[in-house]
């Protein structure tokens, strides 16, 4: 049996339509009408009508008074039933908020998902001005401190798989990303100027599970306020963040060794 015949054997058109609709609505803040959904997906309204009805019945989408469809929070709720996400968010929330309050910065927690970073938790500090990363955002690995932290502790085969999932990047960006990993692994954290926003120093450290695998990264996009009124200096904030990650790793069953918190700093997060 050739590949095409094998693939066609397992096609589920209705399921494919449902997934297409969910993925489309995830990016439609104002919602979409049935006609707009059909036009965007290249399908007739009759093709998607029954699928939309099932998604409504199951609670994944809702219809507003303007006849526009929106995602509900059900997908978010289902995702958080995943064991690793549920456990991480359960143990990390309070510790992240304590850290955010102490350093007066926003904090987010990322895991890897299909070659990108997925933000599964986010908290803000008490200051009026914060640099927030949206909960649920998917971030390319190459320009992020979180991506470097998680990649730095991978075995070669696992890293190759991640890079394949992440897709082709410009040779310069990917080369810079890979060149940073040795230093990040040696230091146990990543710290340096943001590659996407001026005036921000990204600080990130890993959270390990009971197998010693880096399963998540906690990151603070540290804003350097022009008033010079930071609650703590960036170096002290980094020490607090690393300590928080040590505590969360301990609660995940890991034994974090001292050499993972060497004071060396990666210059290009």
Fold of 82-261: Beta-Lactamase (3.30.450)
Any idea where the domains of the chain sit in the sequence?
A: 3-76, 82-261
Taking the domain 3-76, which CATH number applies? 1.10.10.10
Winning range, highest mean pLDDT, from 1-5, 53-57, 91-95, 230-234 = 53-57
Give CA–CA dist 75/83, Å, rounded: 15
Give CA–CA dist 254/112, Å, rounded: 19
Please state the rounded mean pLDDT for residues 253-265. Answer: 49
Please state the rounded mean pLDDT for residues 167-192. Answer: 90
Task: Provide the whole-model pTM.
Answer: 0.67
Is there a contact between 99 and 107 (Cβ–Cβ < 8 Å)?
yes
List the one residue out of 109, 119, 123 whose CA is nearest residue 140: 119
Structure tokens at 38: 């059909």
User: Tell me: the pLDDT tens digits for 41-86?
Assistant: 999 888 888 999 999 999 889 988 889 999 887 776 666 566 667 7
Three-state DSSP class for 167?
coil
Structure tokens at 244: 């928080």
Structure tokens at 211: 């197998």
């Amino acid at each position: 049996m050739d590949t095409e015949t094998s693939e066609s054997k397992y096609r589920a058109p209705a399921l494919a339509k449902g997934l297409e609709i969910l993925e489309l609505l995830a990016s439609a803040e104002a919602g979409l009408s049935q006609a707009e959904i059909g036009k965007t997906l290249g399908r007739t309204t009759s093709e998607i009508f029954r699928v939309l009805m099932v998604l409504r019945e199951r609670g994944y989408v809702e219809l507003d008074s303007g006849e526009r469809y929106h995602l509900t929070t059900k997908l978010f709720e289902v995702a958080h039933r995943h064991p690793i996400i549920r456990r991480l968010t359960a143990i990390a929330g309070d510790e992240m908020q304590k850290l955010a309050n102490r350093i007066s910065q926003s904090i987010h927690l990322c895991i890897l998902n299909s070659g990108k970073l997925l933000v599964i938790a986010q908290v803000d500090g008490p200051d009026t001005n914060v640099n927030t990363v949206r909960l649920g955002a998917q971030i390319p690995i190459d320009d992020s401190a979180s991506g470097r932290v998680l990649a730095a502790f991978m075995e070669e085969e696992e890293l190759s798989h991640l890079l394949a999932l992440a897709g082709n990047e410009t040779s310069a960006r990917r080369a810079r990303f890979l060149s940073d990993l040795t230093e990040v692994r040696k230091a146990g954290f990543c710290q340096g100027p943001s590659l996407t926003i001026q005036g921000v120093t990204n600080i990130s450290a890993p959270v390990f599970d009971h197998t010693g695998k880096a399963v998540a990264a906690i990151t603070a996009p540290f804003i350097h306020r022009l008033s010079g009124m930071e609650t703590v200096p960036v170096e002290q904030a980094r020490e607090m963040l690393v300590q928080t990650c040590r505590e969360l790793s301990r609660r995940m069953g890991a034994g974090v060794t001292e050499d993972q918190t060497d004071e060396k700093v990666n210059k290009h997060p």
